Amino acid sequence: MLARGTEILANAVAEHTAVPAFATYNLEMVQAVVAAAEQTGRPVIMLAGSSHFNHAGRSALIGIALQAARESIATVGVHLDHCRDLAEIELCVQAGYSSVMVDGSHLPFEENIELTRAAVALAHPSGAWVEAELGAIPGDEDVSLDAAPAQAMTDPVEAAEFVARTGVDALAVAVGNVHGLTSTPVFLDLDRLAAIRDAVPVPLVLHGASGLPDEQLSGAIRCGVAKININTELRQAYLAAVASVLPSVLDSHDSVALWRAGRQAVTTAAVRSIHALAGRHQGAGTPS
């Protein structure tokens, strides 16, 4: 079932959990994320976004993701991640996306507000909710690099003004988080995160949760984070499975077995993350 409206976020806030938003790049990853949602009975968000289109093609990935979500027995949102192009936002909203993220974090404050307001005006009439980002998060969401922590974090006062003037439904913040894995530990500024929560009336979003300790993830959820993006863990699982199976299928040219192994590995990783972010509500284990 394709998720509609902000109920998926509101329920997470009420339960003191976070909805996992999983990056998908191809058919196998889409299938794996849906399978994980169905196995756990928990809602998920599928990220089929701007950079992901570079691999699968925009029309193809949009179609695969939306069809899989609509046909699933689980609640699955389809989300346009890290988009800076209003035309692409309009295209995805018209196609039926549940939500979009407009990324004006690279812009000066006033220009970010202008871009975000335009995205809200495009998305809301079609029932799609909008996530924006205030405070740039270092690193690359598609490639694990050793990114340095952000020097400029989200300011609670600016966050309050930004949300009030744009009408966004969720806010991605920079509180020490980075995209990808790092060689040195990453620690979130939970005091800052709590101050942002108290300053804005919308759920918060955490990008770059890869490798964060359990207590940091739990702390982020307590501080108002209702959506956590997950990418690196899935790519690690997929590549490890493919590397393990590849020698045994080279002679037979059994590419299907290779894709199947990758899909199952992603499903397993996604299930672990779903349980972890369900926290006390689910009584489940630790992140992958």
The residue from 81, 103, 155, 169 that is catalytic is 81
Long-range contacts of 112-115 (CB under 8 A, 24+ apart): 112/162, 113/162, 113/165, 113/166, 115/84, 115/86
The amino acid that residue 251 corresponds to is D
Clarify whether 189 is annotated catalytic: no
Q: For residue 232, what are its two tokens? A: 């690196």
Residue of 264, 266, 265, 285 whose CA lies nearest to 276: 285
C-alpha to C-alpha distance for 5 and 167, rounded to whole angstroms: 14
**CA-CA-CA-CA torsion sign (278, 280, 285, 288):** positive
Q: Are 231 and 223 in contact (CB under 8 A)?
A: no
Enumerate the active-site residues. 81
